Chain A
Amino acid sequence: MRRFALALALARAAGWGAAEVEFNRDVRPVLSDKCFSCHGVDAKAKNIALRLDVEAMAKADLGGGRRAIVPGAPEASEMIRRINSESKAKKMPPVFTGHGLTDAERATLTEWIRQGAKWQKHWSLIPAVRPAVPAAKGGNAIDAFVRARLDKENLKPAAEASRDRLIRRVTLDLTGLPPTPGELREFLEDRSPHAYDKLVDRLLDRPQYGERMAMRWLDHARYADSNGYQYDGERVMWRWRDYVIDSFNRNKRFDQFVMEQVAGDLMPGATLEQKVATGFQRNHRANTELGIVAEEYQVEYVIDRVETNSAVFLGLTFGCARCHNHKYDPLTQKEMYQFYAYFNNVPEQGRAMKYGNSPPMIADPPQHQREAMKQIEREIEQTRQGLRADPRRVSVWRQSLAGDGLRYWHPGFDLKRKLSFEDPEQTRANAGIVQFVPGRIGRAVQLDGTAYLDAGFATANFDIEDRFTVAFWARSEKTPDGALFSRANDKPRGRGFGLEARQGHLHVHFTSDYDDDAIRMTSDDAVLAAGRWHHVALRYTGSRMAEGVRVYVDGMPVAMKVELDNLYRPLNNGGKEFPEPLRIGAGGGPNRRFAGQIDEMLIWARTLAEEDLALLARGELLRDQDLDSRPVREAWLESAAPAAQQALWKKYVELEQKREALERSYPTVMIMAENPRRRETHILIRGEYNRPGEKVEPGLPSFLPPLPAGASNDRLGLAQWMVARDNPLTARVNINRFWQMLFGTGLVKTTEDFGSQGEYPSHPELLDWLAVEFMESGWDLKHMVRLMVTSATYRQDSRTTPELTQRDPENRLLAHGPRLRLPAEAIRDQALAVAGLMEKRVGGPSVKPYQPAGLWEEQSMQNMDYQQDHGEGLYRRSLYTYWKRTIAPPMMVNFDASTRESCVVRESRTNTPLQALNLMNDVTFLEAGRQMGRRMLQEGGATDEARIQYGMQLLLARQARPRELAVLKESLSYHRDYFASNPARARQYLNKGESPLDLRGKPVEQAAYMALASLMMNLDEALTKD
């Protein structure tokens, strides 16, 4: 009896009012935390017979009649004997684990067995059923559940917050920005009973709502503008961010939002938007370090997806079963790898591109580029109308060519250089013997294997993003061997590009750094034979990838083996000139000179069509070409058509170039795709990439429901399963996170873990009600957010008392409204907004606002430097700030932003001196203070008091109390005197930031108001929604 009393007392002390021990709430957390790591799903691997995570096994006869748990009889239960044992050898949990039981925990287990040891399935795995809403006066369903709990605790809800607190709270929560004085006035003057509801509707309709919701989604998705790991070069994923903002703003069904990000590429008739959505799966870090083992990181990317998807959508920690069975949840290692298999079929490389995106990816032009493209295409179409060649005229022209025996055909436009070798003055021979001999067309150059021709520095200055084509004829007595041409350092493995014959094979390279930063490929076959002329062409699309490089021999594309496909940095010495000229017959050092003949080398600054190259390789006179062929028509338009048509042709060519340039400027997004042949997945023994074990197929863990009927067993099926009605987790986990966003702590505090180590919900029925409402509303997120922010619970005053704080420090019982420090983004955005500096355009590329000098240089490679923006880029909302993973924006880090190295779903808030320094001394906040001070002076009225009150309205959406007003006035007059006593200081102090500063006014007055505005921005209240 004494023990029972103790249990009861402890249960009460723990905050549970009732004497009935409930397995899920009271017992499982103890068993999980203290026992499952040995007596759980991994027990067998440790040769431990007893399992406490499965009821039948926990209550089974262990031999000799001993049973760990004998319902109703704690004294007969081995478990109770062992947890109370005095013997070091018998004591459970063993001392060495460091996980001793507390008295309260022992009491709970004892009492639970006494009450019959009733077992329950883990609460989060039981599909949510809509619970009956408790009877309550006023408020919505949320309030009924919250009040029922408060009643049990003998607590009363707080009164409704004042209207000015309400508008500030809800505006910050739904848009991440404070209300303007105008919005404040409108709301305060609206006396209708629905004024607050209308306000909420207005806020939900604002584009800033989508931005606000996106802030946390970017954390979950580990979004960043750089790759992470060692090099941490830039990537381009902002179109995915645009997708997220837009989806929240359009209130896309949340199930759709989830499915698109998991498997948008596999949805029937997948749209560009749906493909872009899968960028979620590619936002993980990517390693580009020279010398990594690519397979190792390919595994890491998939593991990252497993961790992210299981945390964000399911609230589970699947990654924990990478090396062994899960210690706590009923997930085997094999099941982990089955889940992994869904994400392991992407045509991706373990070693990623150093700068820019790594395949698979897709171009996704934003609206203004789409419109520009439409315009160009319209113009092209119009121009094309006027370009019809008159066959009769073409025929006449062709006849006229008959006498010109040397008019060999070649495409004319964008031809940058023609080396026909008819005139030796075109080029300079270096040492050695160079002769000009009869060749394929007129004369050719003959090289002896030691000499080369120098074609000058002005030619072929192409870099990695330039398109070009080089075509020529070549012949050698022996099997061709040696460099054909190059624009590269004269040494093996040198920087630059070139084409080389290797015993009849062709080798092409684009080299910035031979090992690390290059494209290299060699033809599968020996394509050049001895003793005959071959037409050879190299064309490049400027894609920086091997797929953009193609080699043709005699008009036919050559099959190439890619040796390295990793080109990032410019070839020509960082934008300066190549150290060597275009050299014909040389490249790769003195030992690789070519012996043979080269003729008719043509160089274009564009990628020729295959059709052009095929014709070119025929090496025919123009008059022998097909009259109707496109190239001939084009030659006519270019050189023989009537003047008007020639002009139109020129315009057409320019338009085509414009179209190409625009297309190439499209931002891309890394997306998901599937290998045509599924990549095999194996269990990795101890999680190590190079220790594959049993082969597995994609599949779901057995403790979760199966795929929906008819769903395919791939990522698309998985996506459908995640949002299926009988999935017990997705709706609960996600609505819990939105709750966390508004109330500071989730109903389940461990937002990242709904497994057995996770916390039991503070309001289980409310969580289920919300989850069911979410699903049954058609996953209508705005509806859910509206429900939460219009609840009386949310609208409570946030004042508390020491007694309440002591009893419920985290306000889990919700006896008052939320009072929480703002997220990092909102603190900066609020400053920009009240300063009138904010550039509110929604979406677009990331920007680089102020950052202390040298931060990147100190830690990054190759002096990667932070190039701060000027103008608009300084004042965009913080979710657009360029995020470099290894050196994140310092203000964001100071205010607890996640580092975006991996998925983070729990919000955290600290309170540190570095934050104080940041807000007092960072140019961002000083400039905002200057501009807010200016607004107080210019817009606030005629008196100090009116101006101070205006500042209070701008920043805090309320009037100053008399005591506050007194302090603020004193502070203002102090600063006025301070600056007046030394006006030079005022000028220095005001000189912060790049926004305009007018010093013709009264600098002392401006500086005093700037100091006051800075002080106000540093108020606890300014950093807090209350």
Chain B
Amino acid sequence: MHPLLATRRHFFRRSATGIGLAALGSLLDAEQAPVHPRLPGLPHHAPKAKNVILLFQHGAPSQLDLFDWKPALAARRGENLPDSIRMGQRLTGMTAFQESFPTAPTIFRFAQHGQSRAWLSELVPHMAAQADDLCFVKSLHTEAINHDPAVTFIQTGFQLAGRPSFGAWVAYGLGSENQNLPAYVVMVSQGSGNTQALADRAFGSGFLPTKFAGVKFRGGADPVLYLSDPEGYSREARRRYLDDLARLNQIQLDDYQDPEIATRISQYEMAFRMQASVPELSDLSQEPESTFALYGPDSRKPGSYAANCILARRLVERGVRFVQLFHRGWDQHSNLPKEIRTQCRETDQPSAALVADLKQRGLLKDTIVIWMGEFGRTVYSQGTLTETNYGRDHHPRCFTAWMAGGGFKGGLTHGQTDDFSYNITADPVDLHDLHATILHALGVDHTRLTFKFQGRHYRLTDVKGQVVQPLFS
């Protein structure tokens, strides 16, 4: 018998003497109902996918060295970026006063892969092997040129703090399918490159109730803050403690009849269940060898991006609605060739493995995997350009993301940039469009998922957003 059920029996037995029927009812409801239900009227249309895994490459990876192949640049090596390309566009304060803007072609080799013949760099061989499952958008663009506003923009649809994150919106709209785990889970891993700060607001609930905020799962003993019982206190003792607590709360409920008390009782029960379900989830020891082989050597290291990718799959298996990974360290203003190699070593194999793994388990059709950073990087070198070294500054005008699963068309490349990967020449997609498109895949009309705050009906896509239909198969 499942230990939780045993616990329930225990509880019912006790309740026959100590606990009123009202609380029992609420507990039963709590156990059968998900953590939070979906909003009435949702989904708005038949969904293509149920879950999202957002693999956020924090710090902004270079599209030029990974995806956006510009062979013509080799001949222009070291030439100043033509004004006709830059068109007086604003630069960050880091290179705005740079005397020249030497064109820096990638030093990495590109080749075509899969039936789709997608161009990918040698830095991402595992993604390359998976190319026919990936749907590339090379024409993403954003408004922000600095990390904090850019991450905030992608994560909340607005550059300034205060709005709910993407995952919080999805949790609010679609609820959770699992009564033992939160609807929105976040994991952060540390890269080896130049690191930027990551604010809680990136996965916060903004003006939505805090229960929709991303719950951070961490490597180590307490995967969720305060999850573990104190040393010296057993599970049996905790069970007994919660039973006594519930009996006392029930006495108060009988007297005051405040439904909040019933909710409190059920939240403590959920906490107890999380204490079992989260360690079970985080325990990779039962995974077969083949899993670790698939995700690569790092995947045995708790807290690594690779281990988090395995966890992402396990979370989705358990019905968690929105899983978000952040991998830090992509901010390569200098020493890009060296740093991007290690960043890719940490992320390429696990990212591709996650797609393959979901696919082989039949989960990919219900799950959207997104790989992206907060903006792109400049074609010109920040700092000195040498044969083997260069850096790249922030570039909001174009960058590349890929999606897999959830109805997205594998092998597709959408959007084009100019020969410098500087400006978009076809099919621009802004972040509101991306949000609208992913919501659409989840069965949500982005204009109708709203929350009234300060008199306004807010939505993730603010006042914009077009679903990019061609991305769907």
A residues in contact (CB < 8 Å) with B: 32, 96, 98-99, 228-232, 285, 287, 289-294, 300, 311, 317, 320, 327-329, 351, 515, 690, 750, 752-753, 755-758, 798-802, 805, 819, 821, 852, 854, 858-861, 885-888, 890, 893-894, 896, 899, 901-902, 908, 910-918, 920-922, 926, 961, 963-964, 967-968, 970-971, 974-975, 978, 984-992, 1007, 1011, 1014-1015, 1018-1021, 1023-1024, 1026
Instruction: Determine the residue in chain B with the shortest Cβ distance to A963.
Output: B251
Residue from B251, B256, B274 within 8 A of A917 (CB atoms): B274
Contact partners of A916 in chain B: CB under 8 A: 267-268, 270-271
> Contact partner of A320 among B237, B452, B456, CB < 8 A?
B456
B448 within 8 A of A: yes
Listed in ascending order, the chain B residues whose CB lies under 8 Å from chain A are 18, 90, 92-95, 145-148, 160-162, 188, 190, 195-201, 204, 209-211, 213, 215, 218, 220, 222, 224-234, 237-238, 240-241, 244-245, 247-249, 251-253, 255-261, 263-265, 267-268, 270-271, 274-275, 393-394, 445, 447-448, 450, 452, 454-457
CA distance A685 to B394 in the complex (A): 25
Pair A750/B455 contact, Cβ less than 8 Å: yes
| Cβ of B193 to closest chain A Cβ, rounded Å | 13
For A803, the closest partner residue in chain B by CB is B257
* Known A300-B160, A799-B257, A861-B196; contact A913-B274, beta-carbon cutoff 8 A: yes
Would you list 27 pairs from A and B whose C-beta atoms are within 8 A, ordered by A residue? Answer: A230-B148, A230-B197, A287-B148, A690-B90, A799-B255, A799-B257, A801-B257, A819-B256, A861-B195, A886-B199, A886-B201, A899-B161, A908-B209, A910-B210, A911-B267, A913-B268, A913-B270, A914-B225, A914-B271, A917-B224, A961-B251, A964-B251, A968-B248, A974-B244, A978-B234, A989-B233, A1015-B248
On chain A, the residues within 8 Å of B93 by CB distance are: 290-294, 351
The residue among A913, A916, A968 with the most chain B CB atoms within 10 A of its own CB is A913
Please tell me if the beta carbons of B252 and A98 are within 8 angstroms of each other in the complex.
no
Q: A230-B148, A917-B226 are in contact. Are A800 and B210 (CB under 8 A)?
A: no
Name the distance in Å between B277's Cβ and chain A's nearest Cβ.
Answer: 11
A1024 to B225, CA, bound (A): 23
Say whether, besides A289-B146, A802-B257, A911-B263, A1015 and B244 are in contact (CB < 8 Å): yes
**Inter-chain contacts of A917 with B (CB < 8 A):** 224-227, 271, 274-275
Contacts of B271 in A (CB 8 A): 913-914, 916-917, 920
Known contacts A798-B256, A861-B196, A988-B231; is A515 also within 8 Å of B274 by CB? no
Chain B residues, CB < 8 A from A1026: 256, 258
Tell me which residues across on chain B come within 8 A of A893, comparing CB atoms: 200, 210, 213
Kindly state the separation between the CA atoms of A162 and B215 in the bound complex, as whole angstroms. 40
B residues less than 8 Å from A311 (CB atoms): 454
CA distance A860 to B195 in the complex (A): 9
List chain A residues, Cβ under 8 A from B454: 311, 317, 320, 750, 752-753, 757
Return chain B residues, CB-CB under 8 Å to A885. 199
Assess whether A1020 is in contact with B455, with CB atoms less than 8 Å apart: no
Nearest-Cβ distance from residue B213 to partner chain A, whole angstroms: 8
A910 near B245 with CB under 8 A, answer no
Please name the residue on chain B nearest to A896 by beta carbon: B210
Q: Which residues of chain A come closer than 8 Å to B251, judged between CB atoms? A: 961, 963-964, 967
- A-side contacts of B241, CB under 8 Å: 920, 971, 1011, 1014-1015
Q: Is the CB of B146 within 8 A of A292?
A: yes
Is B456 a contact of A1020 with CB atoms below 8 Å?
A: no
Shortest beta-carbon distance, A924 to chain B, in Å?
A: 10
A912 touches B267 (CB 8 A): yes
Which of A231, A285, A798, A858 counts the most chain B CB atoms within 10 A? A858
- Nearest A-chain residue to B228, judged by Cβ: A921
A910 in contact with B197 (CB, 8 Å): no
Which residue of chain B has the shortest Cβ distance to A861 in the bound complex?
B197
Count A-B pairs with CB separation below 8 Å: 247
Which of B145, B209, B230 lies in contact with A992, CB distance below 8 A?
Answer: B230
Residues of A within 8 A of B233 (CB): 985, 989, 1011
Q: Chain A residues with Cβ under 8 A from B457's Cβ?
A: 99
Give the distance to chain A from B93, nearest Cβ to Cβ, in Å: 4
Contact A852 B222 (CB under 8 A): yes
Please tell me which one of the listed residues B197, B222, B237 contacts residue A978 in the complex, with CB atoms under 8 A apart: B237
Across the interface, do A971 and B240 meet the contact criterion of CB distance under 8 Å?
yes
Residues on the B chain within 8 Å of A1023, using CB: 264
Given contacts A800-B258, A1020-B261, 8 further A-B contacts (CB under 8 A): A98-B445, A861-B195, A901-B161, A920-B229, A921-B229, A985-B234, A1019-B245, A1020-B264
Cα of A1021 to Cα of B210 in the assembled complex, Å: 21
Are A821 and B268 touching (Cβ within 8 A)?
Answer: no
A859 to B56, CA, bound (A): 14
Most buried by B among A886, A915, A920, A1018: A920
Tell me if A918 and B225 are in contact (CB < 8 A). Answer: yes
Which single member of A231, A887, A902, A967 contacts B248 (CB below 8 Å)?
Answer: A967
Checking B200, B256, B275 against A800 with a beta-carbon cut-off of 8 angstroms, the contacting residue is: B256
A922 contacts B226, C-beta separation under 8 Å:
yes
Find out whether the CB atom of A1021 lies under 8 angstroms from the CB atom of B252: yes
Q: Which residues of A contact B213 (CB under 8 A)?
A: 893
Contacts of B92 in A (CB 8 A): 290-293
Which residues on the B side are within 8 Å of A291 (C-beta)?
Answer: 92-95, 145-146, 393-394
From the candidates B199, B226, B245, B249, name the one contacting A921 in the complex (CB within 8 A).
Answer: B226
Known: A886-B200, A926-B230. A858 touches B146 (CB 8 A): no
- B256 neighbours in A (Cβ, 8 Å): 798-800, 819, 1026
- Specify which chain A residues have a CB less than 8 angstroms from the CB of B240 in the assembled complex: 971, 974, 978
Please, how many angstroms separate the alpha-carbon atoms of A229 and B457 in the complex? Answer: 26
Residues of A within 8 A of B247 (CB): 967
CA distance A905 to B452 in the complex (A): 15
By beta carbon, the residue of chain A nearest B249 is: A1020
Closest to B459 in A: A98
Shortest B44–chain A CB gap in Å is 10
Smallest CB gap from A515: residue in B:
B94
By the criterion CB–CB under 8 Å, are A757 and B456 in contact? yes
| A967-B244 in contact (CB<8A) | yes
Nearest B residue to A917, CB-CB: B226
A370 to chain B, nearest CB (A): 37
Bound Cα distance from A854 to B218, whole angstroms: 10
Across-interface contacts of A987 in B (CB, < 8 A) = 232
Q: A859-B198, A912-B267, A913-B268 are contacts. A986–B232 as well, Cβ < 8 Å?
A: yes
A289 and B147 contact, CB distance less than 8 A:
yes
- Measured between beta carbons, the chain A residues less than 8 angstroms from B145 are 291, 293
Distance (whole angstroms) from the CB of A171 to the closest CB of chain B: 19
Q: Which of B226, B234, B450 contacts A852 (CB 8 A)?
A: B226
Q: In whole angstroms, how far apart are the Cα atoms of A291 and B90 in the complex? A: 11
Give complex CA distance A989, B211 in Å: 30
A1018-B218 contact in complex given A921-B226, A986-B232, C-beta closer than 8 Å: no
Contact of B245 with A1018 in the complex, beta carbons under 8 Å: yes
Interface centre among B18, B92, B220, B264 (most CB of A within 10 A): B264
B148 A753 Cβ-Cβ under 8 A: no
CA distance in complex: A777, B265 (Å): 45
Q: Which of A750, A967, A978 contacts B18 (CB 8 A)?
A: A967
CA distance A98 to B449 in the complex (A): 10
Within 8 Å by CB of B188, from A859, A988, A992, A1018, lies: A859
Q: How near does chain B come to A1015, taking the closest CB pair, in angstroms?
A: 6
- Cβ contacts under 8 Å, B218 to chain A: 854, 858
Instruction: Known A916-B271, A1011-B241, A1015-B241; judge A229-B248 contact (CB<8 A).
Output: no
A911 to B260, CA, bound (A): 8
Cα distance A830–B305 in the bound complex, in angstroms: 40
Query: A918–B210 Cα gap in the complex (Å)?
Result: 15
In the bound complex, do residue A899 and residue B204 qualify as a contact, i.e. CB atoms below 8 Å apart?
A: yes
Give me the 9 closest cross-chain CB pairs, A-B, nearest first: A757-B455, A988-B232, A989-B232, A291-B92, A886-B199, A916-B271, A901-B161, A913-B271, A230-B148
